[in-house]
Chains A and B, each alone.
Chain A
Amino acid sequence: MMKPVEQVDPNWAWEPFLATAETPWDMGAAAHLMRRAGFGATGEELRQLMARNPQDVVAELVAAQEPESFQREMASLVRASLASGGPQRLAAQWIYRMLNTPAPLLEKMTLFWHGHFATSAAKVEDSKLMQQQNELLREYALGDFSQLALEISRDPAMLLYLDSATNRKTHPNENYAREIMELFCLGEGNYTEQDIRELARCFTGWEIKREKFRINRYQQDTGEKTVLGRTGELSGEDGVATVVSQHQTARFITRKLVRFLVLDEPRAPDDLIEPLADKLREDGMRIAPTVQRILGSNLFFSMSVRGRKVRSPVEVAIGFLRTLNGSTDAFRLATTLQQLGQGLYFPPSVKGWDGGRTWINSSTLLGRSNLIRNLLGDDKTRFGKQGLEQHLTSQGARSMGEVVAYLETVLFAVPLPDTARQKIAQLADSPGAKENRLRDAVHLLCTIPEFQLA
């Protein structure tokens, strides 16, 4: 019996997951983990995961690092993208990275922070700075949030985006002070306008000159300030530390992580969030232990939260390709993602992407269907370096029935409706090459509402 999230016992919720007859550690559970902690996995990868203990799998996902050879390869793509074009080219290399990374959770969390510390190239107009920020987010994606908050507060792209490239003691710029409290750490209602003014004074003298952060000591307000109850001759670093050290920051970040990794709605009750927030503080605001706790928990694997997230456009596209071991034209995909509302390096506002149900409307549903159709129809799209038919055969899916069963396991978070199965069965008897019929079948499956859920 599935319990509504509001009624879940917080102590049970974050306990390490123990497989039961009701919630076994099976292909479905492994696929769920890989969808949320990454961008999906092939059937073969899922079978390998199933042979292991789920806690070990989660620990390995959290600890996974990109090998040096992969980092070198990506650095080369970044160099090429920076040398030959604007942020759209950067988006293509990030897509390539998401498709090929051996550390998918790291990349997923980088995407999370990109939405959290949203900065758009549309305003920054400097690919190099955007990429520097992207690398900063990746470096701290599972690291120390206190340090990440400090680094992002000095990040040239962020400060340019928030019109905070200059901050003089006679005219403190309140933009960044407001956003760090409202959007990055505390949330609305957890600070006062006076706190914003005082924090802005801490940031005086912080400037971006010739694309680099510097402190202009002549413009620093060295006087006494009071921020969130802490009084002293606070510097910018002190200001960030003060904000991050609030217990509300741990709650705010934990809630966002739960929403990103576990469920869009309903809103998790405070008493469900509190134990995780406490642990985050105990862990010195290190993100990795909290993420590991969430991904390895009873609640995460419970049926109550399966399919309770709406896939973002990036999750649709990258998830589709990774699940089918696919590769494609990353430039074209970057453009399509932008059209679908999730342009990488181009979040819509400082609030990032709203996510959840806002991803879906009649227009975006059609766009998502076209995205899959275009991926399937693009002659640059390959599945395991071969055709779809060969790839599915290599995964043991030969007949149309086997194909549907396989795709249901790897691609879907919830069971397929019978109507979809019937439509696919009709395709099995239609004329034409098998490859084309399979592509039609996959496209058909990816147009049903259930596919939009993760």
Chain B
Amino acid sequence: MSRLLFVIFLLVHAGGGFSIRGDAQASEDGVSEVAKREAVTRDSVDVALLPPTTVLYAELTDPTALISLVFDHPLKQKIEALEPYQSAIQSPGYKSFLFGRAMVETQLQMSWREAVEAFLANRVTVAFDVTTNSPVAIVHGKDAASMKLFSEKLLEFAKLTPNADQIRESEYRGIPVYKIQNVLYGVSDDRMIITNQPDLGREVIDRKLDQGASLLDNPRFDSAWQTRPTDALAWAFADVEVLRAAARKPFEDRINNPVLELLVGGIQSVLAKSAYATAALKGNAEAVSLSLGTPFKADWVPEYREYYFGVDATGRGPAVPEIEETLFEMSTFRDFSEMWLRAGDLFNADVNDGFAQADANLGTLFAGRDFGEEILGSFESEVAVLATRQDFSQLLPRPTLKLPALGAVFQLKQPEKMTRELRRIFQSLIGFLNVVGAMNGQNQLELDMEKLDQNAELVTSSFVPEAGEEESTDAELIFNFSPSIGFSGDRFVIASSASLARELVQAKSDGPSATADNTNGILHANVLQEVLSDNREQLVSQNMLEDGNSREEAEAVIGLLVQVVGYFEAMSIRLTPSDDLLEAELQVRVAP
């Protein structure tokens, strides 16, 4: 309300020399600054109780909003309508829980939700202090009376337990302190302070009564605190600089796992230099997101990891072609060729032995070409990867287990030269697979070529079924695959199925060619639901064997899984470097 009045005041009293737009802008800025200062002061009161040597900090910024998000969410009604939920609430265990809850409500003379909202009303702060090597929690409740009531009831419940004789009561600076087993707690006004370390507890109380240097005086925390989003439900901070120094082993920049290196290698280098890291949880009825952030400078990334973010960290993932029934899509920037060639700098001797062996084998497989230099080096660093649902309704043989098709889109550096090269290499590869397959009694692949238009072509292969199995509806896993490649100008496509390769080659490239992120991935829940439904029989069988369920029970479990997946729209992840911040965000969107 005060904020609204302040806005009105500014609007009414604004000078006439400003344009309307200018007035509004100035007012908004004014509100924003004042409100921000107020918010910072209000928000920092609990931080001010923590020692400057706090290395891990987490807060539930707005517990009431979080409780409301969980308990008032439309999804809750859907879940409550599910048959397993209805069965669960009839169980003796749940009834015991309800009985216990009713007892608590009677004792507190308020509903459990009112109790939780009052107890957690303003904030919950959890921290870890490196000096005392201990955690502390500060629960900032509704008011002093509520917290006193909770403290008394907590003590009463503790006295009902078999360890009642171990409860100890003392006092520190007029504040009663209780020790239940190894946990100490005391209430000062509207805050409950909980810890397992008396010194840390005393420090917090001293700071509340006398003030003094606090976590707010830690410059790294202060910098992080400035970036804290005002609409976060929860926020956390880690003092990476202190943690790095306190670690028993020196920070190891090498990961020594090629897959992990590709996924997080660049982040590893940033964390080796960064002073702190933060996490923020946001949410509303439509989505929940977790953002992780850390300061970032492009020159923190060593040259041997340039493959990850690109020169000056400017590498961005490409736009992903729009394909129907996409289950998963990922756009990323990675210079695979550079990574392959820099393996000596990135990995230890064991991993490099593996690389050397793989290099030799792949050289043979790729018709004598140098895999790192000539094959990977023929692609630009922007890569799009997709997985799409395969529709087998019109296809035979039809595999029992129906896997999504997987495809990747690259950009060729020299399309006029590499198109012929890659086509020939692919044909050789299929021939090689046929020779190996024949030795092992496996089905053979049949090659085909298709000219789609002047600039676009496909080279496909498909498994030839055994005689008599052409119309099988429970065919082997291999019938999910028809490995294919395609070319369209400088676009090179490789896919596990011919139909996906065709779609990727023919996909139009509307809109911007690059995203704003280094890496961006989305999993579409509606397609996941279809994929699960396609494999329902498999999943039911798996559940019967794994959980010992009857068919009816297993069908109910899998039905529930498929249904619950349908409550969501998508899950996404992105990694975005900017001038001074490296941010990763994980988001889950709920279906409308």
Contacts and interface: CB of A to CB of B under 8 A. Distances in A.
Contacts of B540: 76
B94 to A, nearest CB: 16
Given A76-B537, A210-B441, A211-B441, A83 B399 contact: yes
Given A80-B537, A210-B466, A382 B548 contact: yes
Contact of A96 (B466, B537, B545): B545
B35 interface: no
B203 interface: no
Contacts of A380: 546-548
A211 B443 CA distance: 12
Contact of A327 (B400, B401, B476, B548): B548
A381 B90 CA distance: 22
Given A83-B401, A83-B476, A83-B538, A92 B545 contact: yes
B451 interface: no
Interface string A317-337: 000000000111111000000
A146 interface: no
B538 A329 contact: no
B400 A83 contact: yes
Nearest to A95: B545
Contacts of A93: 541, 545
B548 A381 contact: yes
The secondary structure that dominates the B interface is helix
B477 interface: yes
A2 B547 CA distance: 45
Given A210-B466, A211-B441, A80 B538 contact: yes
Given A210-B466, A211-B441, A80 B541 contact: yes
A81 interface: yes
Nearest to A333: B548
A84 interface: yes
Chain B: interface residue count, which band? Answer: 20 to 34
A285 B265 CA distance: 70
A84 B402 CA distance: 10
Nearest to B474: A79
B541 A77 contact: yes
Nearest to A99: B548
Contacts of A80: 400-401, 537-538, 541-542, 545
A82 interface: yes
Interface in B407-462: 441
B227 to A, nearest CB: 44
A76 B542 CA distance: 10
B544 A96 contact: yes
B399 A331 contact: no
Interface in A80-103: 80-84, 89, 92-93, 96, 99
A328 B544 CA distance: 9
Contact of A331 (B401, B477, B545, B553): B545
B78 interface: no
B551 interface: yes
Given A83-B538, A84-B401, A77 B474 contact: no
Contacts of A330: 545-546, 548
Contacts of B474: 79, 83
Contact of B546 (A76, A79, A83, A329): A329
Contact of B551 (A73, A81, A92, A210): A73
Contacts of B537: 76, 79-80
B151 interface: no
A77 B545 contact: yes
Contacts of B214: none
A81 B541 CA distance: 8
A390 to B, nearest CB: 10
A61 to B, nearest CB: 23
A382 B538 CA distance: 23
Contacts of B549: 327
B287 to A, nearest CB: 34
Contacts of B545: 77, 80-81, 89, 92-93, 96, 329-331
Nearest to B542: A80
The residue among A84, A380, A381, A382 with the most chain B CB atoms within 10 A of its own CB is: A84
A385 B538 CA distance: 22
Interface string B475-498: 011000000000000000000000
Nearest to B467: A210
B546 A77 contact: no
Contacts of B441: 210-211
Interface in A366-390: 380-382, 385
Contacts of A83: 399-401, 474, 476-477, 538
Interface in B519-543: 537-538, 540-542
Contact of B544 (A77, A79, A82, A89): A77
A84 B542 contact: yes
Contacts of A331: 545-546
Contacts of B541: 76-77, 79-81, 93
Contacts of B466: 210
A77 B547 CA distance: 13
A96 B400 CA distance: 20
The residue among A77, A329, A385 with the most chain B CB atoms within 10 A of its own CB is: A77
Nearest to A128: B476
A99 B549 CA distance: 11
Contacts of A385: 553
A327 B545 CA distance: 9
B474 to A, nearest CB: 5
A84 B548 contact: no
A92 B540 CA distance: 14
A84 B535 CA distance: 11
A82 B476 CA distance: 8
A99 B550 CA distance: 11
Contacts of B544: 77, 96
Contact of A82 (B400, B546, B547, B551): B400
A244 to B, nearest CB: 31
Interface string B224-267: 00000000000000000000000000000000000000000000
Nearest to A125: B440
A381 B400 CA distance: 29
Contacts of B400: 79-80, 82-83
Nearest to A211: B441
A211 B540 CA distance: 29
A85 to B, nearest CB: 10
A163 B542 CA distance: 34
Contacts of B401: 80, 83-84
A92 B546 CA distance: 8
A328 B541 CA distance: 14
Nearest to A382: B548
Contact of A329 (B477, B547, B551, B553): B547
The residue among B401, B474, B544, B547 with the most chain A CB atoms within 10 A of its own CB is: B544
B542 A329 contact: no
Contacts of A326: 548
Interface string B176-207: 00000000000000000000000000000000
23 contacts: A76-B540, A76-B541, A77-B544, A79-B541, A80-B400, A80-B537, A80-B538, A80-B541, A80-B542, A81-B541, A81-B545, A83-B476, A89-B545, A92-B545, A93-B541, A210-B441, A327-B548, A329-B547, A329-B548, A330-B545, A381-B548, A382-B548, A385-B553
6 closest A-B pairs by CB: A327-B548, A80-B541, A83-B400, A83-B401, A330-B545, A92-B545
Given A80-B400, A331-B546, A380-B547, 11 more contacts: A76-B540, A80-B541, A81-B541, A84-B538, A89-B545, A92-B545, A93-B545, A210-B466, A326-B548, A329-B545, A330-B545
Interface of B: 399-401, 441, 466, 474, 476-477, 537-538, 540-542, 544-549, 551, 553
